[in-house]
Amino acid sequence: MSNISENLENDAISSVNLKKRTIIGRVLAAILLVVSIATIAVIEYLQMVPVEYVVGAAVILVALFAVVVSLMKFMKEKKGFYVGAALSVILTVALIICCGYAIRGRMAVENIATTDGNITKVNVYVLKDDPAKNIKDAKNYNFGVLASQDEQFTKKTVQKINKDVNKKIKTTKEDNVQASMDALRNHDVNAIVLKAGYMDAFTDTPGYENINNELKVIATYEIKTQDMRKVSCKLKDHFVVYLSGIDTEGSPSVTSRSDVNILAYVNVKTHQVMLLSTPRDFYVKIPGVSKGKRDKLTHAGLYGIDKSIDTLEDIYGTKIDYYFRLNFTGFRQIIDSLGGITVESDYKFTAYDGSKFVKGTNHLDGARALAFARERHAFPRGDEQRGIDQMKVIRAVLDKCMSSDMLTHYDSVLSSLEDSFEMNVPYSVISEMVKMQLSDNPKWDIISAHTTGYNASKVCYSLGSRACVMLPSEESIDYAKDLIEDIENDKKLDQDEIDKKEDKITERAESGILTKDGKKITDLYDTSEDEVTKSKYSTESTTEKKNTYTPKKYNITTEKQDNDDDSTDNNKNKARHRIHDVPDNNDNDKPVNPNRGNGDSKPNHPTEPTGGDKTQDNSGEVKPQPQPQPQPAEPEDPAAPTTNSAAQ
């Protein structure tokens, strides 16, 4: 009897356990089925996976589901049930994680592609020793504002100031940025209203190197503007993307100088990409802004990315379809999130921040990659070489993104992109590109090219003062246009051939020949009236009185820095000493040594003489050499800015 009782009890327990396993098995199977269906839906939601891949994924999921259910069906076999249950849980968790990554990826791309337009920061400046601590303290001040330059931003800012101080403020119109600075220094106005970006650009003007230490900001206003440019939502056989790197930290939406100006010409049919770099100091007209006068290409970014695009379209006669914009913060974060990149350096050199690079292979983290991409003073052809190095960094990042390393850094890369990267490429275009890559798996050929010119000192529209610029080589622009035409006509480009041609054009540009038919600087530019705008507050030009200003109630000590002139936020408030190629009173427009690194200014490195060319010793290290004798002044350029301050 006892055995019968035990058997009945065991049967009852087995029956209960079987029911439990049955319930658990059905629940696990139902969850797996729902998650599998959701996975297929997410794949479709991505719009990046080819149809054959979607069908394949569905077949695999159905097969796995059948295996799991079959194992759990044999409820009496504990081992089979447990194996099936374990597989069900593992598959469910794996599919949920994959769906999460997929949805996260699409949301990140859509966030990056959703732009709020440009954000322009406008500051109210007063002298350092001014008692005003905020805008309300300055309600009775006389504010200097730009007369015509940035009129829309000035008007909106003044309206906001009026609202904040609850009265209509008094304003005095100034001809340009330099005139505004002088008016404040000479106490003709109590405060000035200027874009924040102007201050960074202006610190390299002779006589204003310490301007950041002389002034303080008592109010900052953000003015938002929309980019009305329409973009195509369909993937075309050929399209152009503008890659812009702005010299600031924080949000990429904030208008700032564009230090990286690269056009990526993409041919989907031939699977070739041409990266065309344009020097930041190209002396060009900014359509819709500079009123026919010339300025640095980098300054176009101060008026919004749409103005940089307009300027590049005007230079090359091409249509730019999309843009990517990245700031310094994002640059470092993306490379760090990828685990670093590897680049080949053409030179052994030490960058502005002390980072050392060897000729050949260099493995870079985010900070060193930024130094590599920003350095120009260490090279014989400074700004050109910087553009070449920037393209090397871009290629290295693309290679890393297309490697298996991307899978292990997926989430961190997305996070870095969202914080400091902006674009107007529609999601539909990106998804079509990914779908094509997955379907055909083509090997892309990335070609690099760049334009060049002749370094000189010229008055820039945005500042109303002189700065180092690059006079564009029309021959190099014409050659770039030929390359653009070739890639649009599905012709395969050859990197070696491009390099040889560009070397010849660069040699001619260094000697002052800027066109195919041999026209020189003196044939193209008239500089007899190209002088620094004279301030209405002084009878001297800026070049005549440089470094003579001393604030009445405080003294500013100039610090020497071995740093790039486009400083980050950490260096913006440090005084800087620069060696400028500014002509004296008897020679108003001597061209700068064409072999010298171009830029707003030249830092006074402790190991190098004032001015001078650079070459390499046997170790490959870039070394300075004596500067050539100045060349004669150039003749008159009808297109160059005049001395009429009102026109500036």
Pairing verdict, β 602-603 and 578-579: antiparallel
Name which residue leads in pLDDT, 273 or 578: 273
Name which residue leads in pLDDT, 495 or 409: 495
Question: What's the angle, vertex CA 353, arms to CA 351 and CA 356, rounded to 5?
Answer: 45
Distances (CA, A) of 354 to 248, 368, 562, 609: 20, 10, 8, 18
> Which tens digit of pLDDT belongs to each residue from 583-601?
333 333 433 333 334 434 3
Residue 475: closest CA among 449, 453, 500, 498? 453
> Which tens digit of pLDDT belongs to each residue from 88-120?
999 999 999 999 888 888 888 887 776 666 788
- Model pLDDT, residue 254: 72
Per DSSP, 646 falls in state: G
Distances (CA, A) of 290 to 67, 307, 640: 71, 11, 11
Mean of the per-residue pLDDT values of the chain: 77
The fraction of the chain above a pLDDT of 90, given in percent, is: 34
- Model pLDDT, residue 637: 42
In whole angstroms, give the CA distance from residue 147 to residue 648.
9
CB count within 10 Å of CB 517 equals 8
Full set of structural domains in the chain with CATH: 2-113 (no CATH), 118-225 (3.40.190.10), 238-524 (3.40.630.190)
Q: Where does the pLDDT of residue 240 fall: very low under 50, low under 70, confident under 90, or very high at 90 and above? A: very high
Q: Where does the pLDDT of residue 352 fall: very low under 50, low under 70, confident under 90, or very high at 90 and above? A: confident
Segment 484-505 mean pLDDT: 94
Among the residues of 166-298, which ranges form H helices?
A: 177-185, 196-202, 211-214
- Model pLDDT, residue 382: 78
- Model pLDDT, residue 551: 39
Name which residue leads in pLDDT, 35 or 411: 35
Pairing verdict, β 360-364 and 421-423: unpaired
> Which tens digit of pLDDT belongs to each residue from 354-401?
899 999 999 999 889 988 988 888 887 777 788 888 888 888 887 777
In whole angstroms, give the CA distance from residue 594 to residue 512.
8
In whole angstroms, give the CA distance from residue 83 to residue 95.
18
Helix/strand/coil for 306 = helix
Segment 19-29 mean pLDDT: 81
For 123-158, letters b (16+ CB in 10 Å) and e give bbbbbeebebeebeebbebbbbbbbebbeebbebbb
φ, ψ of residue 17 in degrees (nearest 5)? -60, -40
Q: Where does the pLDDT of residue 47 fall: very low under 50, low under 70, confident under 90, or very high at 90 and above? A: confident
**Residue 114, C-beta contacts closer than 8 angstroms, at least 6 positions apart:** none
**The pLDDT of residue 635 is above 50:** no
